[in-house]
Amino acid sequence: MNSISRATSNETIIEIQGYKPASKFKKIVPNIIIFYLPLTAVLIFVLLPFLWALSTSFKTQPDILNTAASFIPHPFTFENYHSVWSVNKFSVFFKNSIFISLASTIFILILSVANGYAISRYQFRGKSSFLVVLLSTQMMPVMLFIIPLFLVFKSLGLINTPLAIIIFYIVTQVPFNTLLMKGFIDAIPKEIDEAAMVDGAGRFRVIFGIIMRIILPGIVATSSFAFIGCWNEFLVAFSFITSDQNFTIPIGLKFMIGEYSVDYGSLAAGSMIGLIPPILMFAYIQKYLVDGLGSGSVKG
């Protein structure tokens, strides 16, 4: 009996040992095909242009125009960065983009939090219709607003000023970000507001002293969307700004493309400089961004 039981147990062990790797292999192969191969293809598709632009930014003009393409610069030079920063006034464009994007993001965030709180906590007639109208504004192309707003800003003397762009960014981005903030605030129990008011807190302190701390990941996610939208915007800034002293980075890059020639090295260097703030921002806020988008920013 003992020999039979041992043989049976050994067979069972062999079957189990032989089955586990096969089952794991059957699970790994579909995962590779379904998830990792498409992700790898997308990663290559995204990284190749970036790596090529990075390589081009360190090349000389003859090396760029050489028919034998290569990722490694021969010779390696920083002249493109010096030229684009000093000669092409990219330092001015960079400061303008930082100022306009930060100022717009701050006002967008404040208005979105206040509007989102009001829509989330108060009940009023026509609330559903108001939300539909608010959402429908995001379905209209930006080009519809350029000519009317150009005439309005011209009558107000705001053409060729950063204020015109900041106002436009605030008006166009507040509706969408308001809906985002409403979703985050909806996940917070109303009892928190009531408990704070019982302790003597006013509505202003509840919103900006308590609610904003709870939905910090949501605020980071919303502000990152707003900042990137302002930083990358080209059409409106190109239409409202006429002086190179007020150009933003996208406009500056556009004017580096000449009618008969293109300085590809400086253009690539300018593109790399324009990527620095978004990359640094996402590297710093990625943990808050994942929490805000994934969990609705509810803590505790």
Residue 250, preceding peptide bond in cis (omega within 30° of 0): no
Q: How confident is the model over 83-103, as pLDDT tens digits?
A: 888 888 888 999 999 999 999
Residue 297 has pLDDT above 60, yes or no: no
User: Whole-prediction pTM value?
Assistant: 0.78
Burial readout 110-125 (b: 16 or more C-beta within 10 A, e: otherwise): ebbbbbbbebbbeeee
pLDDT at position 296 is 46
Q: How confident is the model over 117-127, as pLDDT tens digits?
A: 888 888 888 88
Contacts of 218 (CB under 8 A, 6+ apart): 180, 181, 183, 184, 292, 296, 297
Comparing CA positions, the residue from 97, 3, 60 lying closest to residue 269 is 60
Residue 22 has pLDDT above 70, yes or no: no
Residue 202's pLDDT band (cuts 50, 70, 90): confident
Q: How confident is the model over 31-73, as pLDDT tens digits?
A: 666 777 888 888 888 888 888 888 988 988 888 887 777 778 8
- Span 110-132, average pLDDT: 87
Q: How confident is the model over 145-155, as pLDDT tens digits?
A: 888 888 999 99
pLDDT at position 4 is 44
- Span 251-262, average pLDDT: 82
What is the fold, at CATH topology level, of the domain defined by 83-295?
MetI-like fold (1.10.3720)
pLDDT at position 23 is 54
Residue 16 has pLDDT above 70, yes or no: no
Residue 27's pLDDT band (cuts 50, 70, 90): low
Computed over every residue of the chain, the mean pLDDT equals 81
Higher per-residue confidence, 16 vs 176? 176
pLDDT at position 14 is 44
Residue 82 has pLDDT above 80, yes or no: yes
Residue 29 has pLDDT above 80, yes or no: no
Q: Is the dihedral of CA 54, 60, 61, 64 positive or negative?
A: negative
pLDDT at position 109 is 92
Distance CA 162, CA 107 (A): 14
Burial class (CB within 10 angstroms; exposed 0-12, middle 13-18, buried 19+) of 300: exposed
Compute the CA torsion angle 270, 271, 273, 278 (nearest 10 deg). 150
- Span 13-37, average pLDDT: 58
Contacts of 234 (CB under 8 A, 6+ apart): 250, 251, 254
Compute the CA torsion angle 284, 285, 286, 287 (nearest 10 deg). 110
In this structure, what token pair is assigned to residue 55?
A: 């390589």
CB 179 within 8 A of CB 116: yes
Distance CA 185, CA 113 (A): 9
Burial class (CB within 10 angstroms; exposed 0-12, middle 13-18, buried 19+) of 224: buried
% of the chain residues with pLDDT over 70: 84
β-partners of residue 257 are 262
Residue 13 has pLDDT above 50, yes or no: no
